Amino acid sequence: TATFTITASAAAVPAKVLPNVQLTNWLETSDEWITQRTGIQQRHVATTETTTSLAVAVGRQLLANARLAARDVDLIVVATMSPDQLTPATATQVQAALGAENAVAFDINAACAGFVYGLQVVHQMLGVGQTALLIGSETLSRLVDWHDRRTAVLFGDGAGGVVVHRSKAGPGHWLGDHFATEGRLGHYLQAGQFPQVNPWQTASAELKWAFQMDGRRVYDFATKRVPDSIQRALMAAGVAPEQVQQYVLHQANARIIKSVARKLDLAASQCPINIAQYGNTAAASEPILFAELMAQGAIKRGDKVVFSGFGGGLSVGSVVIEF
Ligand code: ACO
């Protein structure tokens, strides 16, 4: 079987930082509540940046970090639930900006599970000898009701990505995976409803654009289904939980990650958390964390890494990769 090798990573976040305490200017909340319940201390919020510009910034860094020419990219996948527009897809704009004229480009939406679903798309689509850019990019700030304290404190903007190369032989292998969706629970996390417009009807005033979330239900889904999904992926891979050096989990809430770690009997050092700096950046959270781990030299050749994401859908997915 062909290799699955992550050869580079990168991240980009908006310049503007919004610390918890600033949210108290207009929300009935506190730094203590947000920090204790979520682990979040600040988030980046796009002012001039867009989902596309963040994705392009990551794309440029990926080419530089992998010493890759734009014409040698075969596939560009952007995972996002907050694109600047529905069409053309964000990935096509990354292709154009990079001049990656030989690449096929499209977006996928699996909300906060988007990055890990994107890994599987790349795994399935990429031919031997080919190279892909997989980028998660979000400006969730535009899907947030900034006056709803139940959701406004949770989300942040940013982008991250990886370069994936497949070849006949060498380091890097896809060892196992597990994916599941529970559409009957989808109403627990909604955002971005479009108006119904036709010649006989004007748009309804009751549009739900901003996040509507039953946080408790999503929390319960995550703390139950994420450990289960990771266990199934590890079983498929024939790998024991303690043999995995790093678990790169979607950063939705530090308490969710600690609960997953407890259930799988993992050490804190196996489950890095960077949500304090970024909040929940949906499809961008795993690649931002991964880029930080790579920059710190925390992942070496031969290490096993689990990526696991969950969220809107409700969806969950986990993959086990050997570096
Ligand atoms: N500041 C102060 N008080 C607050 C705030 C706030 N920002 N938000 C809610 N509260 C209050 C509530 O009103 C409630 O008050 P009450 O007891 O008087 O009714 C109290 O705090 C407790 O609220 P809970 O919702 O029970 O708090 P909980 O401990 O469950 O934490 C949270 C809420 C952080 C949302 C948690 O449930 C969670 O993280 N859920 C998962 C959410 C998630 O991961 N979503 C993203 C999925 S990824 C994607 O696809 C986008």
Q: Can you list the positions of beta strands (E) in the chain?
A: 5-12, 17-19, 42-44, 75-79, 104-108, 131-139, 157-165, 173-181, 189-190, 212-213, 246-249, 304-311, 315-322
Q: What is the structure's pLDDT at 205?
A: 66
Mean pLDDT over all residues of the chain? 96
ipTM: 0.91
Q: Which residue ranges does the chain devote to CATH 3.40.47.10?
A: 5-165, 173-322
Q: What is the structure's pLDDT at 198?
A: 86
Contact predicate 92/105, CB 8 Å:
yes
User: Which is catalytic among the residues 112, 178, 253, 271?
Assistant: 112
Class of domain 173-322: alpha beta
Residue 195: asked if its preceding bond is cis (omega within 30°), the reply is no
Task: Name the least confident of 24-28, 60-64, 204-208.
Answer: 204-208
Residue 17 sits at the vertex; the CA angle it makes with 275 and 59, to the nearest 5 degrees, is 75
**In the predicted model, what is the mean pLDDT of residues 91-119?**
98
- Class of residue 64 by CB neighbours under 10 A (exposed 0-12, middle 13-18, buried 19+): exposed
Q: What is the structure's pLDDT at 208?
A: 84
Catalytic residue status for 102: no
Find the residues whose C-beta lies inside 6 A of ligand 1: 29, 33-34, 37-38, 111-112, 149-150, 153, 189, 213, 215-216, 218-219, 222, 252-253, 280, 282, 311-312
**In the predicted model, what is the mean pLDDT of residues 235-243?**
97
Given a cut of 80, whether residue 189 has pLDDT beyond it is yes
**In the predicted model, what is the mean pLDDT of residues 157-172?**
96
Superfamily of domain 5-165: Thiolase/Chalcone synthase (3.40.47.10)
Catalytic residue status for 250: yes
| Model pTM score | 0.96
Catalytic residue status for 173: no
What are the beta bridge partners of residue 127? none
In three-state secondary structure terms, 123 is helix
Given a cut of 80, whether residue 151 has pLDDT beyond it is yes
pLDDT digits (tens, 9 = 90+) for 269-314: 999 999 999 999 999 999 999 999 999 999 999 999 999 999 999 9
Given a cut of 80, whether residue 215 has pLDDT beyond it is yes
